[in-house]
């Protein structure tokens, strides 16, 4: 699939979903991406995910290609 994906640099921890969250634009639509993390180490997980951003962006691209965006406009990794 040939589509434009723009990643925002908006990593944060979402306590309601107990996951690190970031977003991207896919064909003009905002998609929220979540990575489930241990709540006891959320700050460390957030820092590590920020450092590994390119790896996670690659995984999001694969998920988009596999049409894994759920009905809420989310991708869970």
3-state secondary structure 12-62: EEECCCCEEEEEEEECCEEEEEEEECCHHHHHHHHHHHHHCHHHHHHHHHH
pTM listed for this prediction: 0.90
pLDDT value at residue 34: 98
Exposed, middle or buried, 61 (CB in 10 Å: 0-12/13-18/19+)?
A: middle
22-58 confidence digits (pLDDT tens): 999 998 899 999 999 998 999 999 999 999 999 999 9
| Adjacent-strand bridge partners of 26 | 5, 29
């Amino acid at each position: 699939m040939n589509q434009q994906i723009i990643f925002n640099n908006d990593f944060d921890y979402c306590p309601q979903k107990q996951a690190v969250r970031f977003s991207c634009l896919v064909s003009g639509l905002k998609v929220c991406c979540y990575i489930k993390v241990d709540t006891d180490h959320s700050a460390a997980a957030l820092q590590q995910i920020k450092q590994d951003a390119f790896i996670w962006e690659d995984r999001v691209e694969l998920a988009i290609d596999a049409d894994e965006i759920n009905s809420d406009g989310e991708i869970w990794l």
